[in-house]
Amino acid sequence: MPGSATTFDKLFQLICLILKPDSVFDLGAGAGKYGRLIQLLKEHHRVPIQRTVAVEVDSSYVSQYGLSQIYDEIMMKNLSSIIGDESIEGHTAILGDVIEHLPKSQGIDLLEFLMYQFNYLYIVTPIDMKQGYWQGKKQEMHISR
């Protein structure tokens, strides 16, 4: 599903306060949780994030969750297709509850690529949480751990 638990939200904000990223890519933005957390940081703590980019595969999420009002830029891409895409680069990449939607081999390839393209990766993934289609959407299935 396009949302996630709030368990690590404060940790994410603390990491942003420490790292002071100038650009953040939210890979698999879903409902825009991390974009909203970044907006709060920018309003209350003057974090110098100049560019926020959402990478999302489901175009219905852009309108349903107002992603255009949350992020500076929206890229409609499947995560497995961004490997080798030179436009995917910046300070920090977020993979919040998304890597489990890829086969393990594609996830490993994606992480290898992202480690080269970004200074930091912030990864949150559920452990032992099975999930099938969600509201008829195949891309929401958890297919690896």
3 vs 15: CA distance, rounded Å: 20
Pairwise CA distance, residues 113 & 46, whole Å: 30
- Distance, in Å, from the CA atom of 76 to the CA atom of 56, rounded to the nearest integer, reads 5
**Domain span including residue 95:** 45-126
Q: What whole-number distance in Å separates Cα of residue 66 and Cα of residue 141?
A: 23
Q: Which run of H or of E encompasses 34? A: helix 33-45
Is the residue at 118 inside a domain?
A: yes
The pTM of the full predicted model, rounded to 2 decimals, is 0.83
Q: Is residue 22 part of a domain?
A: no
Does any domain span residue 49?
yes
Query: Could you tell me if residue 72 is inside a domain?
Result: yes
* Nearest CA-CA partner of 33 in 75, 61, 73: 61
Q: Kindly state whether residue 23 falls inside one of the protein's structural domains.
A: no
- Looking at the domain assignment, is residue 2 inside a domain? no
**Domain tally for the chain?**
1
pLDDT of residue 52: 97
What's the confidence (pLDDT) of residue 124? 86
Please answer whether residues 73 and 50 qualify as being in contact, where contact means their C-beta atoms are separated by less than 8 angstroms.
no
pLDDT given at position 99? 82
Which residue ranges of the chain lie beneath pLDDT 70?
1-5, 126-145
Task: Confirm whether 3 is domain-assigned.
Answer: no
Phi, psi of 98 (to 5 degrees): -135, -35
117 part of a folded domain? yes
The pLDDT, as a whole number, for residue 104 is 84
